[in-house]
């Protein structure tokens, strides 16, 4: 007879507050903290705390079975004082108005921090693209683009890929706007295929940025190499041997320095490099 097992609730996890669960309230709270630190003018604070423009559209899409389904989409501008709005478009069943507002605000800060003359925007459609055929995905993209065409353009708002959108989605968006304009408008979106004016490295840009940020953080923390006691997949606070940055000061790779590249090559490279240091420069010669 099978034994009945009762689930025991996990302890130590507090329920998220409404502010933590709502991305827009969280974004506003983050702004309030930064504004307090900067001593921001109260009038400017009230302006930057809200989104400038919100477009919500509900549009029909013809499906493969010849039925018409309705979808909801958003395009929100937070601020365009520095230039045209800039921000991605995502397709996800969990897209909400508050999420898009928060992402638009964060885009404003990201563009400003790195000195790019754009404002912040974001867009999305409440849909699971995995449940759509390629033809249905194209129909949805083109119709959504037509609905938000009143606010996007090279000098107004420039969409880009985001969650569940890619270069093909951007190509359909560009083509839709170009048909309305009567000529090619490649500058209406970024993240396009290379053949129609896209940029090399764009598909890998997000992942590369995460990698470079992680490596910079490891260097800042003095985490330079794997320890001998590390497991194959080290968990948090395990398997890393923190070394002071000054320990490697002035040492080159030819002198046996184990840098970040060697760490990624695996433990064999690490042992070989350490062996060269133990033998000395004379014995390591063939």
**From 122, 130, 192, 219, active-site residue:** 122
The helix (H) or strand (E) run that includes residue 132 is: none
Token digits of residue 190? 């970024």
What are the start-end ranges of the H helices in 39-133? 42-48, 97-113
Are 138 and 61 in contact by the 8 Å Cβ rule? The answer is: no
Among 206, 150, 143, 154, smallest CA distance to 183 is for: 154
Cα gap 77→39, rounded to integer Å: 25
3-state secondary structure of 120: strand
Residue 238's φ and ψ, nearest 5 degrees, are: -125, 145
* Token reading at 110: 């990201």
Determine whether 86 is an active site residue: no
**67-73, long-range: CB < 8 A, 24+ apart:** 71/125, 71/126, 71/127, 71/140, 71/144, 72/125, 72/126, 73/123, 73/124, 73/125, 73/126, 73/144, 73/147, 73/148
Active site residues per annotation: 122
């Amino acid at each position: 007879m099978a034994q009945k097992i009762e689930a025991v609730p996990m302890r130590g996890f507090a329920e998220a507050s409404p502010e933590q669960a709502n991305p827009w309230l969280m974004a506003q709270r983050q702004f309030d903290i930064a504004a307090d630190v900067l001593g921001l003018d109260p009038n400017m604070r009230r302006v930057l705390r809200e989104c400038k423009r919100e477009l919500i559209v509900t549009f029909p899409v013809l499906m493969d079975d010849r039925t018409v389904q309705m979808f909801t989409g958003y395009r929100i501008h937070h601020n365009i004082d520095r230039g045209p709005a800039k921000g991605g478009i995502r397709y996800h069943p969990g897209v909400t108005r508050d999420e898009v507002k928060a992402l638009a605000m964060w885009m404003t800060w990201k563009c400003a921090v790195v000195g790019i003359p754009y404002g912040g925007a974001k867009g999305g459609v409440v849909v699971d693209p995995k449940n759509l055929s390629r033809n249905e995905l194209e129909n949805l993209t083109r119709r959504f683009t037509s609905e938000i065409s009143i606010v996007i353009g090279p000098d107004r708002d420039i969409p880009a890929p985001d969650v569940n959108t890619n270069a093909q989605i951007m190509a359909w968006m560009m083509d839709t706007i170009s048909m309305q304009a009567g000529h090619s408008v490649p500058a209406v979106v970024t993240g396009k295929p290379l053949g129609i004016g896209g940029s090399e490295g764009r598909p890998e840009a997000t992942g590369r940025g995460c990698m470079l940020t992680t490596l910079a953080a490891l260097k800042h923390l003095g985490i330079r190499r794997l320890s001998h006691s590390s497991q194959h997949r080290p968990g948090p606070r395990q398997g890393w041997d923190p070394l002071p940055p000054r320990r490697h000061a002035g040492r080159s790779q030819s002198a046996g320095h184990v840098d970040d590249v060697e760490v990624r090559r695996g433990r064999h490279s690490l042992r070989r490099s350490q062996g060269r240091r133990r033998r000395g420069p004379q014995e390591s010669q063939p």
